[in-house]
Amino acid sequence: MTNTLRQFEQDKQTLMAFIAEDGFPMAVPVTANVDGDRLRISARTEVPANSDVAVTVSHIRPQPGVGYDQRRYTTAWGNYDSGVVNVERSTGWDEQEVTFFEYCERSVGRGNAYLEKLSEERGYEVKPRLSPGWRFFLATRVPFLSATVIPVFLGAVIARFDGFSAWWYVMLALLGASAIHLGLNVVNDIFDEEADDANTTPTPFSGGSRMLQYGLVTRRQMGLMAGVMFGAGIGIGLFMCAVRGWSLLWLGVPGVLLAYFYTAPPIRLAYRGIGDTAVALGFGPITVLGAYFVAARQFSWGAAVASIPVALFVMLILYVNQIPDRTGDALAGKRTLAVRLSSKAIVTGYAISALVGFAMIPAGVLSGLMPWPTLLGLAGLPLAWVIWRRIGRDYDEPYALMGAMGYNIGLHALVGIALIAGYLIAT
């Protein structure tokens, strides 16, 4: 406790809270000096003798246009009498030791315990609330749908380049593929709950939706959402097979199985270190070739080759997003590549995968399977270099790594849109 109280010697912005004689809470500025496990208090306001008090010392530095840094505080609780607080317990937080976001995540358990206790006292459930629309939006992680939209449109424009067009069917296929993707996100939260519970450094790009951890939905509600999404996606897929050709099953069945068993037992692909491969297959060849087939009612080697860069760059999104999750994943037995490999191997692996992705574009052009305007996809090379540098620099800093994770999603979008534009130009 003495180590925690040392901040009272460093910072002088100190407040003491107590219940005044009139029964109202009061907080007054005081001067506090540490004396072992006691605080000697000097206050201008009279404080009732034998009061239970909370003394808080804080430090914060404003950063104009940015926010604040150097945040730290300590709160000590105890009994006050004759200018002395006999400290019974104390807590504190220093931003230099634990980031604000991690501190919030470490407090989730205490917050949930408080709500449970409050529910027992009041006789009805007390929990945080969100509108159904927001719950669906956050639980399904709708913003990540770019991973589905891009390969679907890529398959469609390749078919158009080859002389085939069926845009109404393509849009329906996009709806079905998006439903499977959203279902995958929800199933991932359900079966990844142990790893997400152990994760104290989630980011907007990693660590799951946190809807279960924050008590915003129940497992039953998540299961219902997943069932609806998978049901809608499979229904649309079967309709497509009926009207466009049953050969589509060769892609649809593996796609659904990869999505469900990404984290679901007994296969749990992500827990075996092959989740990256599953993502590459699902959001690369399976989706691109599926969209192509819906439009053309046949398969294409050109579409298969063009799908490889998209597959690798969507895989790299997951590959990087696993880095800040690796501690929690390891505790839950989730053996992702970030858990299995060293930081040097992960950074090197990113560079190799990105270079292979870019190399496939000129290779496709030289082989005659892709038109020359698709070389626009190489425009993502400088961004990939920036991401690679940032991964190496910020590997052990989850929140600093968010810049690289955001750019990485942008890289997939940039390359995918450039390839789409290349096919449209060629058409």
pLDDT in tens, the chain (427 residues): 556 666 666 656 789 999 988 889 999 999 888 888 889 888 888 888 888 999 998 888 888 876 777 888 889 999 999 889 999 998 888 888 888 889 889 989 889 999 999 999 999 988 888 899 999 999 999 999 999 999 999 999 999 999 999 999 999 999 999 999 999 999 999 999 999 999 999 999 999 999 999 999 999 999 999 999 999 999 999 999 999 999 999 999 999 999 999 999 999 999 999 999 999 999 999 999 999 999 999 999 999 999 999 999 999 999 999 999 999 999 999 999 999 999 999 999 999 999 999 999 999 999 999 999 999 999 999 999 999 999 999 999 999 999 999 999 999 999 999 999 999 999 9
Pick from 95, 118, 149: which residue ends a domain? 95
Reported pTM: 0.87
Tell whether 89 and 140 lie within a shared domain: no
Residue 324 lies in a domain: yes
What single-letter DSSP state applies at residue 124?
Answer: S
Tell whether 265 and 163 lie within a shared domain: yes
How many domains is the chain partitioned into structurally?
A: 2
Pick from 95, 121, 154: which residue ends a domain? 95
Q: Supply the pLDDT for residue 353.
A: 98
Question: Is the Cβ–Cβ distance between 87 and 77 less than 8 Å?
Answer: yes
From residue 250, give the alpha-carbon distance in Å to each of 54, 143, 234: 66, 28, 13
Q: Supply the pLDDT for residue 6.
A: 66
Tell whether 218 and 313 lie within a shared domain: yes
Q: Supply the pLDDT for residue 59.
A: 86
Which residue shows structure tokens 């190489």?
Answer: 378
Tell whether 44 and 148 lie within a shared domain: no
Tell whether 182 and 54 lie within a shared domain: no
Tell whether 211 and 356 lie within a shared domain: yes
Residue 124 lies in a domain: no
Tell whether 223 and 331 lie within a shared domain: yes
Residue 113 lies in a domain: no
Residue 106 lies in a domain: no
Q: What gap in Å lies between CA 283 and CA 290, rounded to an integer? A: 10
Residue 100 lies in a domain: no
Q: Supply the pLDDT for residue 283.
A: 97
Q: What gap in Å lies between CA 425 and CA 418, rounded to an integer? A: 10
Structure tokens at 87: 């400290």
Chain centroid to CA 399: how far?
11
Q: Supply the pLDDT for residue 34.
A: 87
Q: Supply the pLDDT for residue 44.
A: 81
Tell whether 234 and 383 lie within a shared domain: yes
Pick from 67, 95, 123: which residue ends a domain? 95
From residue 383, give the alpha-carbon distance in Å to each of 23, 30, 43, 376, 387: 61, 53, 58, 14, 6
What confidence tens digit (pLDDT) does each residue in 298-308 have? 999 999 999 99
What confidence tens digit (pLDDT) does each residue in 407-424 have? 999 999 999 999 999 999
CATH number at residue 73: 2.30.110.10
**How would you label 184-204 residue by residue, b for 16+ Cβ within 10 Å and e otherwise?**
bbbbbbbbbbebbbebbbbbe
Tell whether 286 and 410 lie within a shared domain: yes
**How would you label 15-30 residue by residue, b for 16+ Cβ within 10 Å and e otherwise?**
bbbbeeeeeeebeeeb
Residue range of the domain that includes 151? 132-426
CATH number at residue 324: 1.10.600
Tell whether 86 and 153 lie within a shared domain: no
Residue 121 lies in a domain: no
Residue 31 lies in a domain: yes
Tell whether 182 and 84 lie within a shared domain: no
From residue 32, give the alpha-carbon distance in Å to each of 18, 43, 92, 104: 15, 9, 16, 27
Tell whether 50 and 193 lie within a shared domain: no
What single-letter DSSP state applies at residue 129?
Answer: -
Residue 236 lies in a domain: yes
State the Rg of the chain over Cα.
27
